[in-house]
Amino acid sequence: MGAATPLTTPLVCGTATARRALRALVEARGPLVVVQAEGCCDGGSPMVFGADEFPLADSDVCIGDVEGVPFYVAGRELAAWAHGDAELDVASGLPDGFSLAPGPGEHFVVRWSACPAPGRNP
Amino acid sequence: MSYARPGADGSPIAVASHYDNFIGGAWVAPAKGSYREDLSPATAQPITEVAESSGEDVETALDAAHVAARRWRRSTGAQRAAVLDAVADAIDAHAEELAVVESWENGKPVRETLGADIPLAADHFRYFAAAARARESRISEIDEHTTAYHFHEPLGVVGQIIPFNFPLLMAAWKIAPALAAGNCTVIKPASPTPWSILKLMEVVGGAVPPGVVNVVTGPGAEVGKALATSPKIAKIGFTGETTTGRLMMRYATDHLIPVTLELGGKSPNVFFEDVMADDDDYLDKAVEGLVLYAFNKGEVCTCPSRALVQESVYDAFMERALARIAAIRVGDPLDPATMMGPQVSRQQLEKVSSYVDIGIAEGAEVLIGGQRAHPGGDLEEGYFYEPTVLRGTNDMRVFQEEIFGPVLAVTTFRDEADALEIANDTLYGLGAGVWTRDGNRQMRMARGIQAGRVWVNCYHQYPAGAAFGGYKISGIGRENHQMMLDHYSQTKNVLVSTDEHRVGLF
């Protein structure tokens, strides 16, 4: 499993809609993880998987959590993340890759806006 | 003049109210009876509805494939070649129709589908028809009395997951070698582009024995997962994002099956100062080579999304390139004069826009573009974005992460060593371009760049017979070459002794 070493920056947080969606998904399916996807097609999108489903590696870094759901970024990508926090949100559209959907016709997105300090949910 | 929209008055293309899965050579309604709208990215309006399938439908398709595999695995090379050639002929006979369908659902300009996607798909089937026919087994004479026979045997039934950027061509890249090696397949097309492959099945379905090719549409978390985790598949072939590639390998671990992965890229396109040594056709070609980042609106895993221009010619070269970019016609994908259509979906458009914002926040300079494009009329609701160039440095996120849109990140280099270092300073290793008139430098750079495909004095050419695949986190395995037959075969070794005498151990 990944070395869950939360960093102080960037911060991660979630909008009220995203937090509500995650709570409902956890209720229905059990523990989850969010993985910021790399590369091609739906890369760049946050993907939500069952906690034991995605093969987290030591190189995946947990940068915080949203509603208790840890948010992972590949350490190799994190090096370039100097600007902006990751705010999880929900938008209309099809779910990305094999990600769980927040609701019918919706998918999770990340907005690179400032999170309320200290990176916890308001 | 533009092609008529599929289903509209004057269009020869029929659009049904909904589409079922293609299983066992027939159209089969999804077990749960669910369908969802499939949109055109040009207008954000529905084209039709497609099956929103579930794991039950994947099971049905896998069972049909296993029934078909009993006969298909015993087919001869000549029989497989005949089927693949018939598929190619059917594609050719419906090339214009398939081009318009592909263009309307994906958003890519019809001049690309007419000139590249569809003819390349047909050619790909012909290439593997030839490869199937010409394939030979191997025999080794181990010693005077011992012979090792190596027979190729099909894996059986394979699962293949297709991306949204070249829905038909990537399907051809996967189906053709699988069938040529004697396998049957169950395919899950990408969620934004499920329709064109169903139209392809209307055209080629009769040429393929029932059950040899099956298509099930639906969400990745449901249909894709059911396919990739099924004990009934002998292999997964996947093209898509790196993260899902990791998930594929995890699924493959459960049943110890092989995977072929074609994943992300952040391909460098390197321009040495000697491209400007003369104002000739070659320079003109090199300028176009930079602008090829806008091909297929940048939705290409090998998009040359990082341009590295030698600093001594940067201003002069970029002046020409930016003028060429300013002349890109963005608009209706069904207009043959259109050079760039809409991004495939709203989420892709929003992601592209978000990355440009990230780039600006990082200090990148917007040289051109940087906002949504406005083609007017009912295309205003479509997912159009301007061809964009950001100038910055290679450590920025917009140089390191794959944007998958028409956004070029450009930077400069001092000399060849600097160019090679920047080119390789990436997590990815799928494609690269090298532009120089110096033959020795061409080969030094091509061998030095850590990528599976290095184009020299060209870019974005995908002829069958040129192996394609990634280094680093860009994937595992190769496509587009007869070596794919090995990726889709087992090797049966029969070791025969003709010696009449015992070994002498017991």
CB A69 within 8 A of CB A33: yes
Q: What are phi and psi of B84, to 5 degrees?
A: -65, -40
pTM of the model: 0.95
CB B175 within 8 A of CB B213: yes
Flag whether pLDDT at A79 surpasses 90: no
| B225: nearest Cα among B199, B252, B200 | B252
What mean pLDDT is reported for chain B?
97
Which of A40, A48, A72, A99 to substitute to test the interface with B, most B CBs within 10 Å? A40
B112-158 pLDDT per residue, tens? 999 999 999 999 999 999 999 999 999 999 999 999 999 999 999 99
Percent of chain B with pLDDT over 70: 100
Q: What is the CA radius of gyration of chain A?
A: 13
Which of B222, B243, B296 to substitute to test the interface with A, most A CBs within 10 Å? B243
In the chain, the amino acid numbered B136 is E
pLDDT band of A7, cuts 50, 70, 90? very low
Query: Which pLDDT score is estimated for A115?
Result: 79
Contact B241 A37 (CB under 8 A): yes
B41-67 pLDDT per residue, tens? 999 999 999 999 999 999 999 999 999
Query: Which pLDDT score is estimated for A82?
Result: 66
Question: Measured between beta carbons, which residues in chain A are less than 8 angstroms from residue B299?
Answer: 41
pLDDT band of A5, cuts 50, 70, 90? very low
The minimum CA-CA distance between A38 and chain B, rounded to whole Å, is: 5
Q: What is the mean pLDDT of residues B375-398?
A: 97
Query: Which pLDDT score is estimated for A114?
Result: 74
pLDDT band of B405, cuts 50, 70, 90? very high
- State the Cα–Cα distance between residues B200 and B15, nearest whole angstrom: 13
**What's the full length of chain B, in residues?**
506
Query: Which pLDDT score is estimated for A6?
Result: 42
Query: Which pLDDT score is estimated for A119?
Result: 44
* Catalytic hit among B102, B301, B303, B479: B301
Q: What are phi and psi of B473, to 5 degrees?
A: -90, 25
Q: What is the CA radius of gyration of chain B?
A: 24
pLDDT band of A1, cuts 50, 70, 90? very low
pLDDT band of A112, cuts 50, 70, 90? confident
Point out which residues pair with B472 in neighbouring strands. B428
Which SS3 state, helix, strand or coil, does residue A14 take? strand
pLDDT band of A118, cuts 50, 70, 90? low
Question: Of the candidates A77, A98, A109, which has its C-beta nearest B347's C-beta?
Answer: A109
Q: What is the mean pLDDT of residues B409-421?
A: 98
Percent of chain A with pLDDT over 70: 84
pLDDT band of B196, cuts 50, 70, 90? very high
Query: Which pLDDT score is estimated for A78?
Result: 81
Q: What is the mean pLDDT of residues B424-438?
A: 97
Q: What are phi and psi of B274, to 5 degrees?
A: -70, -5
Flag whether pLDDT at A2 surpasses 70: no
**Angle made by CA atoms B102, B460, B81, in degrees to the nearest 5:** 65
The sign one gets for the Cα dihedral B163, B167, B170, B176 is positive
Q: What is the DSSP annotation of B255-282?
A: HT--EEEE-----EEEE-GGGGSSSSHH
pLDDT band of A113, cuts 50, 70, 90? confident
Contact A80 B221 (CB under 8 A): no
Question: Of the candidates A45, A80, A93, which has its C-beta nearest B346's C-beta?
Answer: A93
CB B173 within 8 A of CB B301: no
Query: Which pLDDT score is estimated for A121?
Result: 45
Across A75-89, B69-83, B232-246, least confident range: A75-89
* Catalytic hit among B202, B262, B386, B479: B262
CB pairs under 8 A between A and B: 148
Flag whether pLDDT at A80 surpasses 90: no
Q: What is the mean pLDDT of residues B302-322?
A: 98
Query: Which pLDDT score is estimated for B216?
Result: 98
Contact A40 B401 (CB under 8 A): no
Contact A112 B358 (CB under 8 A): yes
What tokens does B151 get? 């027979």
Give the C-alpha distances (Å, rounded to integers) separating B55 from B61, B217, B318. Answer: 10, 11, 51
Question: Measured between beta carbons, which residues in chain B are less than 8 angstroms from residue A101?
Answer: 219, 221
Query: Which pLDDT score is estimated for A117?
Result: 62
**Angle made by CA atoms A16, A18, A23, in degrees to the nearest 5:** 95
Going by the DSSP 8-state scheme, the letter that residue B364 receives in this structure is -
Point out which residues pair with B18 in neighbouring strands. B49
The minimum CA-CA distance between A28 and chain B, rounded to whole Å, is: 15
What mean pLDDT is reported for chain A?
85
Contact A53 B428 (CB under 8 A): no
Residue B262 a catalytic site member = yes
CB B370 within 8 A of CB B403: no
Which of B241, B399, B474 to substitute to test the interface with A, most A CBs within 10 Å? B241
